[in-house]
Amino acid sequence: MKVNGTAYRSVWRATDKSSVEAIDQTCLPHEFRVVRLKSIEEVARAIQSMVVRGAPLIGATAAYGMALAMHADPSDTQLQQAHDVLLAARPTAVNLRWALDRMRALLAPLPHSARSDTAWFEAETICEEDIAINRAIGKHGSLLIRELWEKKSSTVNILTHCNAGWLATVDYGTALAPIYLAFDGGVPIHVWVDETRPRNQGAALTAWELGQHGVEHHVVVDSAGGHLMQRGLVDLVLVGTDRTTARGDVCNKVGTYLKALAANDNGIPFYVALPGPTLDAKSADGLRDIPIEIRDGGEVAKLRGRTDAGEIITVAVVPQTSPCFNPAFDVTPARLVTGFITERGICAAGVDGLRGLYPELWR
């Protein structure tokens, strides 16, 4: 997607061919900054500190991390260590394991001399596949939005939580891809952007993305969605996912479950954009099977913002004597999900729908 007119991806191999570059998402929306990652340690730190975030982007960046590792040292020890260090960076997103397992399985049987080139090639392949998946999700989802428009004959109001836009992927996004494609196709759209505390990915990233693309939107606090739905101001809720189980339980940014409850209570369709690599067919019960990352309480207590003078600073918003608890995700049970928008089409939430689209994962 374009940033001030220039096409960017969220992560890419640097022109020096021996490092990786990424948009530093901790600086947005105030500063657009590119960081260079030169080692697996730097990649792991970028994932852990959310310089890069979003399930698909974490997977792609980790794949590049494996390439960096093989570039530096193509040994078996390094291969295993890179896999383990990167896997430990964040526990919830299934794409991380998916990408690392895929890289290791491909590289392990190869002679050491072939590992670096193959790793770079495969990381690029994962990126290209991610883009293709997101474009397909965008195409299927945009038809859904167009149908809502045709039924309603006025602006379609979509609520989204966190950032499942192009910054959460290599390009296009998952939940935002249908919005971009429908918008580009002439459908009038307005987006309610949940600010998404504590890291404010909605206010910082989704609002910035939509603004860059010219899509009309308003930022709201995470608590406002229920009110908006009660008042008929939401036609569709559209979110991403960090891991979805075989039966359709959706693990996503904390607070997604509350929006799903409100959508259900108000008869509003609640769709999840689900790329294949985010489907974890080995798990079933989301509450039982998915580890929920508990992040540092400091993310709740402090936040970064821009002063009137343009300086970016960190301020505390909680008394110093009050501890904070910071679960990063929650699980939305399949019963609250209307359907999944995947690269292979749209299906109802539940094992039948998912198995119908991804039969190979059930074999």
Q: Does 33 bind a second copy (CB under 8 A)?
A: no
Q: Which of 224, 348, 351, 361 binds a second copy (CB under 8 A)?
A: 224
Q: Does 156 bind a second copy (CB under 8 A)?
A: no
Integer-rounded Cα radius of gyration of the chain: 20
- Of 41-49, 140-148, 235-243, 309-317, which segment contacts a second copy by CB under 8 A? 309-317
Could you tell me how far CA 167 lies from the centroid of its own chain?
A: 8
Residue 181 identity (one-letter amino acid): L
CA distance linking residue 244 with residue 222, whole number of Å: 22
Q: Does 267 bind a second copy (CB under 8 A)?
A: no
Taking a C-beta distance cutoff of 8 angstroms, is the pair 180, 218 a contact? Answer: no
Residue closer to a second copy (CB basis): 23 or 331: 331
For residue 231, the 8-state DSSP code is T
Q: Does 322 bind a second copy (CB under 8 A)?
A: yes
Write out the catalytic residue numbers: 242
CA distance linking residue 146 with residue 144, whole number of Å: 5
Least distance (Å) between residue 219 CB and a second copy: 5
CA distance linking residue 346 with residue 138, whole number of Å: 11
Residue closer to a second copy (CB basis): 113 or 322: 322
Q: Does 348 bind a second copy (CB under 8 A)?
A: no
Residue with tokens 């602006």: 155
Q: Does 16 bind a second copy (CB under 8 A)?
A: no
Q: Does 314 bind a second copy (CB under 8 A)?
A: yes
Q: Does 283 bind a second copy (CB under 8 A)?
A: no
Q: Which helix (H) or strand (E) holds 243?
A: strand 243-245
- Asked whether the bond before 319 is cis by omega within 30 degrees of 0, the reply is no
Go through the chain and tell me how many residues it has. 363
- Of 115-123, 144-152, 207-215, 236-244, which segment contacts a second copy by CB under 8 A? 207-215
Q: Does 240 bind a second copy (CB under 8 A)?
A: no
Q: Which of 36, 221, 282, 296 binds a second copy (CB under 8 A)?
A: 221
User: Which tokens sit at 4?
Assistant: 């001030």
Q: Which helix (H) or strand (E) holds 280?
A: strand 279-280
Q: Which of 197, 241, 250, 279 binds a second copy (CB under 8 A)?
A: 197
Cα atoms found within 13 Å of the Cα of residue 24, Cβ hemisphere only:
13
b/e for 278-308, b at 16 or more Cβ within 10 A?
bbbbebeebeebbeebebeeebbbebeeeee
Q: Does 29 bind a second copy (CB under 8 A)?
A: yes
Name the site residues for a second copy (rule: CB under 8 A): 29-30, 192-193, 195-198, 200, 203-204, 207-208, 210-211, 217-228, 230-231, 253-255, 257-259, 261-262, 265, 287, 292, 297, 300-308, 313-319, 321-327, 329-331
